[in-house]
Amino acid sequence: MPTTAVSDVRSDRLKALPPFLFDEIDRKKRERIAAGADVINLGVGDPDKQTPEFIVQAMDRSMRELVNQQYPAVGGGLGVFRQSCARFMQRRFGVTVDPMKHIVCCIGSKDGIAHLPWAVTNPGDLVLVPDPAYPVYEIGSVLAHCRVHKLPAGRESGWKPDFASIPGAVSQAARICWVNYPSNPTAASADVGFYERLLEWNGSTWRADGSRGCVAASDVAYSELYFEDKPVSMWQARNASIDETMGIEFHSLSKTFNMTGWRIGFAVGHPAIISALAGIKANVDSGVFNAIQVAGAAALDRFDDAAVQAMRDLYRKRRDVIVPALRAIGCEVDNPGAGFFVWARTPLGKDGRPMDSMAFAAKLLEQGDTVVVPGAGFSPAGRDYFRIALTVEAERMAEAADRIRRINW
Ligand SMILES: Cc1ncc(COP(=O)(O)O)c(C=O)c1O
């Protein structure tokens, strides 16, 4: 058979995705590791500790049952998992929901986030994405052939979009508006007032006959990693009503319970949106392995377990090492009250300006064997910022800060 040289098989929609800007840093990291360097990786947002034992044991028991080895329940997930989600919403946020109407189980929150546009938009519809933001809001929209409008959410506005300043025509055309607090990458948090402003604006986008409007989509994947005030749910807003407000909120078990590899999360929202998302999922995947749902239910029922508190304490200890160390070397940084990340301004370069984050990250890897994520990879608004994940031990954090200090920027 003659072979044809195939240069690029990618679809237009795949080619339309924003470029992955970390390839170069990734390549250099692998080179340094292969050369035997002691690389400190502050880039990966993946917990460095094991899933708590009680969850592993629940999995061990449930995976042996035949019913759990068969296709998972379609249509939103197992009742036992959804009931735990509802109890979690009640106990943690004081929000009452109906497990079968308001909750859908997801293969990690990323699955739900990426598929939401398939469920509630048509090609050409407009999706509002904060800038900077976790890239999947834009990626899911582009894959569903939506247009993306970036909402400035920079330092001046506390890393939050200002809904009152969205032009009327944009508000009227928008079909989804994403928000994410505690934020990846900016580590900013939001209070109930923020969600009340979001829902007030969102309500104003609906026509009187209810025929068209925007879905408020909130991602709270980091809600349980807090050091100061507990993050809130959009559903706590005084103007929120789960059966009337066009909103959906995404939760994740990944970081709370060190379960990133298990792939389980859930969405809680208006019944019509939940049912639309469940409809897409029923057609493209067959849900999360039942045994993982049973283990996930056990996890959520113990969201206040000592093991979860211990993780918060550990991340706080690491934060309390890296933030002062970065300040001591002249990096501007807000002490994050929640989340998984520290978002810091780059040190001043030779021209007296904060360095370009790409150049900073590259030099830090070359001369300090330390990986950070350049803010420019998220947005031009992140040009002079870098992101650190709190996923290495405090001593290594201190060593990383020392390596930054020793470099002549
Ligand atoms: C802001 C944010 N949302 C959602 C996710 C997806 O998490 P998962 O799919 O593991 O629930 C991540 C993962 O890094 C994230 O940073």
Q: Is the dihedral of CA 20, 152, 47, 278 positive or negative?
A: negative
**Sheet of 265-269, strands arranged across:** 103-106, 265-269, 247-252, 215-219, 174-180, 126-131, 147-152
CA 109–ligand 1 middle distance (angstroms): 6
Q: Whose CA is nearest to atom 3 of ligand 1?
A: 221
pTM of structure:
0.96
Give the chain's length: 409
Mutate to test the pocket of ligand 1, among 44, 104, 107, 110 (most ligand atoms within 8 A of CB): 110
What H or E segment, with its residue span, contains residue 1?
Answer: none
DSSP letter for 254, please: T
- Predicted confidence band of residue 186 (pLDDT cuts 50, 70, 90): very high
Q: How far is CA 33 from CA 26, 36, 39, 268, in A?
A: 11, 5, 6, 42
C-alpha to C-alpha distance for 348 and 329, rounded to whole angstroms: 10
Q: Please name which of 297, 15, 310, 327 lies closest in space to residue 145, comparing C-alpha atoms.
A: 15
pLDDT value at position 409? Answer: 84
pLDDT tens, position by position, 80-115: 999 999 999 999 999 999 999 999 999 999 999 999
C-alpha to C-alpha distance for 26 and 80, rounded to whole angstroms: 41
Pair 390, 62: CB distance under 8 Å: no
Q: Whose CA is nearest to atom 2 of ligand 1?
A: 221
Q: Whose CA is nearest to atom 14 of ligand 1?
A: 45
Which residues, judged by CB distance below 6 Å to any ligand atom, belong to the binding site of ligand 1? 45, 108-110, 134, 180, 184, 219, 221, 252, 254, 260, 265
CA 55–ligand 1 middle distance (angstroms): 20
Asked if the model's pLDDT at residue 74 lies above 80, the reply is no
What DSSP string runs through 188-207? ----HHHHHHHHHHHHTTS-
Q: In angstroms, how far is CA 8 from the centroid of its own chain?
A: 30
- CATH architecture assignment, domain 15-44+306-406: Alpha-Beta Complex (3.90)
Give the atom of ligand 1 at the shortest distance from the alpha carbon of 265.
11
Domain range list for the chain: 15-44+306-406, 53-301
pLDDT tens, position by position, 234-260: 999 999 999 999 999 999 999 999 999
Q: Whose CA is nearest to atom 5 of ligand 1?
A: 110
- Encode burial over 217-250: b for 16+ CB neighbours within 10 A, e otherwise: bbbbbbbbbbbeeebbbbbebeebebeebbbbbb
Instruction: From the options 3.40.640.10, 3.50.50.60, 3.10.20.30, 3.30.300.30, give the CATH code of 53-301.
Output: 3.40.640.10
